[in-house]
Amino acid sequence: MDHKPRLPWQYDSGKIRYSAELINDIYVNRLIKNYLRTGNHDHNFVLVGPKGIGKTLFLNLKSYLYRNDSHDKGLLFYPSSGQLCENLMLDNNQLSKKDLLRFSGYSIWAKIWRLVLSIIACQVNHVREEEDKLLIDLMENNRSLSTLITTILMNRNMLDKYLERLRTLTQKIERINNGICIFIDNIDQALGQFLTDYDKTDFDDMRVPPAVEVWTGAQMGLLAAIYEINRHNSHIKIFSTIRSEAFICLDDQMKLNYKNYTTSLKYTKDEVKLIFEKNIDLMDPEEYVCPEADDKVERFLGVKKVGHTAAKFPSGTYRVEKPFDFLYRHSFGRPREMVLMGSSLYNYVVGSPGYDLDKPKDRVSKIRSEVNKVSDEILDNYLNEIIPKFDRSQLNQFIKVIQSNVIPSDYILKEQRDLAEHYFSIGLLGFTQKTLNGKDNLLQKFLPAAEYSYKENVTLPNTKFFVTHPCLDKTLAKVLDLRYYNSFNIIGPNKKFVDHPEYAKIYDVAFSYANEERAYVEEVAKHLNQRDVKVFYDHFNKRKTWGMDLNQFLGDVYNSYSKFCVIFVSENYTKKKWTLVELNHAIRRHNETKNRERYLLPVRFDESPIDGIDGLGYMDTQENTPAELAELIYDLIYERR
């Protein structure tokens, strides 16, 4: 029978037609090639990796290869009804999060899985129980792994009695002489559907919520059970998948032993590109936009480069990047995400009428629009993986504080350290790091998605700047419009980073004024806000100052975080405590930088003298309306930008 290549851009492993020849259509590195080997000496039982990395694809392929190679070898399989793997399903009509929270810790889960898997092994080998009524009921009334584990979890008060049967079951499986292969998947998702939603225990003052302990414990307990059962009888091979964020949390003296039974699935950027290009190879050559191009991605998309919309070289020209680099940095680097992105471009951009006739800049515009949309979908999917449910409103508030996709570390650590640590651990917040080949060269680094999500004591690095992941771009745009872009750098993992004095400035301009002049000042602030200018105006920042040490906070704003400071001079101004605090900080900054840049911008309501600024040129409120003054300030800011 001739091998039919799979269709391109299939990101759902359930839709893939498994065959021995499938290996020709997918990217397989040395690690996976070793994992896919079958035979008596195979101990590659568990695939470890984040979601979207291909664990289910390779587990199903391994099951197919074992079954295809088992003729005349007497191997027995579970499941045996035409399925390659059993996808664990827990009945949400019978179980709840409250029920599952009663099973915390991986040691209890290791016993539960040993019980369940031993029963399945006995059923596959037709080993019957004739004396123990409780064991008979478990074995006769639960013919699948899913129903069996649901029954056990539903009856927490019976658990001790169930576990008393482990010794009997261990003796039974030790007598099995036939080779048995058991394939199970979907443990993480089956449990995750119950544990994601909020519970009061999620808000306890503990680093790791109980829901996470259950989720990680169940997966690591499975690994421990697979290890123990195979040690008791090497004829029984149990193959499954677990998530890397669960495995990394295991702190046990047996971890190295378990590791010998696992394959950790990871891909470099170059390998993900090969996966992407494999899908391009599966396309009909007539579908290529530029079939003559040497580069496969250019062949697919019809563009050689993608220009950034905001980041520029010092010369003023916009920075550019290769098309694959643009796609890759808008994902978390997981193969499924890149195939999803390719699928959307294939169906909705490259395949759209007239795309092949478009000019390159119009093609880039369409590609950028689709990639930003898919990137936001990738972010949604990723955040939906996190247990307990990810707080989107908290993220929006965080964005309102940071104001940009490049944030000075001292600012973020003073403002939002706890949230910064959380977003750093899940890969939403990266940092700049010096390279080894030059003290002035910086690279942007992010922790891998879904590896350290639940790891305790993930500490923030010592860095000058933090950066936001490009998957957050659409969220940043929703909260801040388009004024969040850094002017000099393309933001993304392993991208070069150019330092610049302006990056320390969170606000374009800070206002210092007396309350009696608020009406005029507020009009100026509103006009600037409408022009996407970041203004520190106290009424726009009430939440930030609430409960803060004002002397320190205002010192940061007027001494470090603003590009310009407008002092609204009046008789009232000279009599206020906090205006004088702001003034002192601003004058200190002015004195430090007056030979290099303009900072203090006096605006007078009257002729009241103020030490430190009397010699500076000023504007007059009698001669400028709020709108006119806002326009003058905007011009200075635009010139600086």
pLDDT in tens, 95-149: 999 999 999 888 999 999 999 999 999 999 999 888 899 999 999 989 899 999 9
Which secondary structure element, helix H or strand E, spans residue 406, and what is its range? strand 406-408
Which residues are CB-neighbours of 459 under 8 A, at least 6 positions away? 421
Q: Closest Cα partner for 116 from 146, 96, 140, 92?
A: 146
Q: Looking at the predicted structure, is the pLDDT value of residue 217 above 90? A: yes
The answer, yes or no, to whether residue 586 has pLDDT greater than 50, is: yes
Question: Quick one: 202 and 332 in the same domain?
Answer: no
Residue 308 lies in a domain: yes
Instruction: Give the pairing of strands 318-321 and 306-312.
Output: antiparallel
Confidence (pLDDT) at 545: 74
- Kindly state whether residues 100 and 185 are assigned to the same domain: yes
Point out the domain boundary residue: 339, 355, 385: 385
* Statement to judge: residues 100 and 155 lie in one domain: yes
Q: Of 502, 532, 562, which residue constitutes the final position of a domain?
A: 502
Q: Taking residues 579-587, what's their average pLDDT?
A: 92
> Is 137 inside any structural domain?
yes
Domain co-membership, 357 together with 295: yes
Whether the pLDDT of residue 18 is over 80: the answer is yes
More confident residue, 49 or 15: 49
The domain that holds 560 is classified in CATH as 3.40.50.10140
With respect to residue 369, please indicate whether it lies within any of the assigned structural domains.
yes
Model confidence at 640, pLDDT cuts 50, 70, 90, reads low
Residue 479 pLDDT: 85
Q: What is the mean pLDDT of residues 576-604?
A: 87
DSSP label at residue 538? G
Distance, in Å, from the CA atom of 303 to the CA atom of 207, rounded to the nearest integer, reads: 47
pLDDT of residue 242: 96
Q: Look at residue 362 and tell me whether its pLDDT is greater than 90.
A: yes
Q: Give the whole-angstrom CA distance, residue 153 versus residue 148.
A: 9
Per-range mean pLDDT, top range of 327-331, 440-444, 538-542: 327-331
3-class DSSP string for 97-124: HHHHCCCCCHHHHHHHHHHHHHHHHHHH
Burial class for 328, CB neighbours closer than 10 Å (0-12, 13-18, 19+): buried
Instruction: Using the Cα atoms of residue 379, residue 381, residue 386 and residue 389 in order, give the sign of their dihedral.
Output: positive
User: Percentage of the chain surpassing pLDDT 70?
Assistant: 96
pLDDT band per the 50, 70, 90 thresholds, residue 154: very high
- Residues 363 and 398 placed together within one structural domain of the fold: no
How many structural domains is the chain composed of? Answer: 4
- 229 and 301 share a domain? no
Q: Which range marks the domain in which residue 413 is found?
A: 392-502
pLDDT of res. 207: 65
Q: Which of 96-100, 288-292, 360-364 is the least confident region?
A: 96-100
For position 604, what pLDDT does the model report?
94
What is the pLDDT, as a whole number, of residue 205?
A: 57
Residue whose C-alpha is closest to residue 183's, from 236, 142, 131: 236
Mutual angle of helices 210-232 and 166-174, in 10-degree steps? 40
Backbone dihedral region of 387: left (phi > 0), alpha (psi from -120 to 50 degrees) or beta? beta
**Of 40-44, 538-542, 554-558, which gets the smallest average pLDDT?**
538-542
In a domain, 94, yes or no: yes
Same domain assignment for residues 482 and 535: no
Q: Is 569 helix (H, G, I), strand (E, B) or coil?
A: strand
Structure-model confidence comparison of residues 70 and 33, the more confident one: 33
Residues 6+ apart with CB under 8 A from 291: 285, 299
In a domain, 140, yes or no: yes
Alpha helices by DSSP H, listed for 145-195, are 145-154, 159-163, 166-174, 187-195
Q: Could you tell me if 293 and 345 lie in one domain?
A: yes
> What is the DSSP annotation of 458-469?
-PPP--SEEEE-
pLDDT-derived band at 74, boundaries 50, 70, 90: confident
Q: Which residue has the higher pLDDT, 307 or 199?
A: 307
Same domain, residue pair 321 and 335: yes
Query: What would the pLDDT profile of 490-537 be if each residue is shown by its tens digit?
Result: 999 999 998 876 676 778 899 999 999 999 999 999 999 888 788 999
Rounded to 10 degrees, the C-alpha dihedral 603/609/611/614 comes to 60
pLDDT tens-digit series, residues 315-342: 889 999 999 999 999 999 999 999 999 9
- What's the confidence (pLDDT) of residue 204? 61
Per-residue pLDDT at 37: 93
- Asked which of 327, 361, 385 is the last residue of a domain, the reply is 385
Percent over 90 (pLDDT), the chain: 67
Read off the amino acid at residue 325: D
Residue-wise pLDDT tens digits, 238-275: 999 999 999 998 888 888 899 999 999 999 999 999 99
Stretch 159-168: mean pLDDT? 94
Is 65 within 8 Å of 247 (Cβ atoms)? no
Backbone angles phi, psi at 407, to 5 degrees: -130, 125
Query: What sign has the CA pseudo-torsion 5, 24, 13, 373?
Result: negative
Residues 316 and 346 in one domain: yes
pLDDT tens digits, one per residue of 174-186: 999 999 999 999 9
Percentage helix, strand, coil for the chain under 3-state DSSP, each rounded to 5: 50, 15, 35
Residue 178 shares a structural domain with residue 69 = yes
Please report whether residue 223 resides in a domain: yes
Please state, in angstroms and rounded to a whole number, the distance separating the CA atoms of residues 528 and 17: 58
The chain-wide mean pLDDT, for the chain, equals 90
Q: Comparing C-alpha atoms, which of 431, 434, 463, 464 is closest to residue 446?
A: 431
- What digits encode the pLDDT tens for the residues 598-613? 889 999 999 998 888 8
Tokens 């009524």: give the residue: 133
pLDDT at 1 over 50: no
pLDDT band at 34 (very low <50, low <70, confident <90, very high): very high
Residue 23, in any domain of the structure: no
What is the reported pLDDT for 638? 78
pLDDT of residue 543: 72
Q: Residue 382 and residue 449: Cα distance in Å, rounded?
A: 8
**Is pLDDT of 77 > 70?**
yes
**Nearest-10 Cα torsion for 325, 368, 424, 418:** 160
Residue 607 lies in a domain: yes
Say yes or no: 564 and 600 in one domain: yes
pTM over 0.85: no
